[in-house]
Chain A
Amino acid sequence: MTKRIRSKIARGSGELAILSLLAERPLYGFEIARQIGERTGGALNFTLASLYPLLYEMEKRGWVKGRWQANHAGRDRRYYSLTPSGRRQLAPLRKEWRAFFQALNSLAGVSHA
């Protein structure tokens, strides 16, 4: 049960992280994982195994769209960009997570930990 909850939280936070990054500019998988790791100081880490099922799921939902194009080194990479539907998910997701952390904070004083 605990594992299931953890997995759901990780998945939900992953969706928000990916949508937030792609709202800035299109990126390909490796860059998404690298930037999430860097920007969260390593708190959120995506391996290949955790990133792609989530990306494909989001693509299936119509939140992101992948398209092959050459990267700066001239190699073909599948760049993901946010769709209008994905953009619409961003605000409610941010609101949900803000509410979640506020609730957790009021219960467990997370911000003082």
Chain B
Amino acid sequence: MPDWKKVVLERMVSLKLSLDVKEDVIAELAAHMEEIYENARGRGLSHAVALEVAMQEVEDWSVLTAAISRAKSEEGPMNHRTKALWLPGLATLLGASLLLALTQFAGFQPRLVWVGGMGMLFYWPWLAGLPVFGAMGAYLSRRAQGPIQARLTACLFPALITAVVMCLILPWGLAINGFSFFRLVHFGLGFVNWVALPGLALFLGAIPFLRESNLRTA
């Protein structure tokens, strides 16, 4: 019987993996080929034919080597998360920020809305455009096979970042200026204006891409 480990190793010299992972892969593939060979022998085939049957399992060793190198690459999980979450999220954030800058540059004025004696600047042209970027974030995440949580996070990324920043600023503001109910309400209004409403606009755009309607392909 052939030394299957040697057979596989000779054909996969360019396998780019750490030594222990490479040994594991070689051992596993060798065991698989050995079983195919033995199975063929068990069916009464000659050594030569059984060997050929086993060797036919791999049409092109270089293609298999490259595919396994890719699949076993340790960077994979990070790459997948980057593709499904961080890149779509950053794209949404960039798009939303550019849109805000653009609307201001183009001279669209925010509407001043009075709520209980407090003024709130309502950036309606920006809010109106946000669904496009929410859709983009969710679409990019779905295209990268992101699960629904990743799609949601990607589409809401600008609102989430703003929420984190505001929550970090609040204690500082209260510590420096002292606690007052007025400041707290003002913060709440700011939260609605910069987190809740943009979040809602982004989410509305993302809805079509949050459904599991696509055929999953890797």
Contact = CB atoms under 8 A, between A and B. Distances in A.
Interface string A72-97: 00011110000000000000110111
Given A61-B80, A62-B77, A96 B31 contact: no
B28 A78 contact: yes
B77 A60 contact: yes
Interface string B195-218: 000000000000000001111111
Interface residues of A, number: 33
Contacts of A9: 215, 217
B183 interface: no
A56 to B, nearest CB: 4
A47 B63 CA distance: 13
A61 to B, nearest CB: 7
Contacts of B214: 96
Interface string B51-66: 0000011111001100
Contacts of B36: 30, 48
Interface of A is mostly: helix
A56 B72 contact: yes
Given A76-B31, A96-B212, A99-B213, A57 B218 contact: yes
B71 interface: yes
Interface of A: 8-9, 11-12, 15, 28-30, 33, 47-49, 51-54, 56-57, 60-62, 68, 75-78, 92-93, 95-97, 99-100
16 contacts: A8-B217, A12-B216, A12-B217, A29-B31, A30-B35, A47-B58, A47-B59, A49-B60, A49-B63, A51-B32, A52-B71, A56-B68, A60-B71, A60-B76, A96-B214, A97-B215
Given A60-B71, A76-B31, A92-B216, 14 more contacts: A8-B215, A11-B218, A12-B217, A30-B36, A33-B32, A48-B33, A51-B32, A56-B68, A57-B76, A60-B73, A61-B77, A75-B31, A78-B31, A100-B215
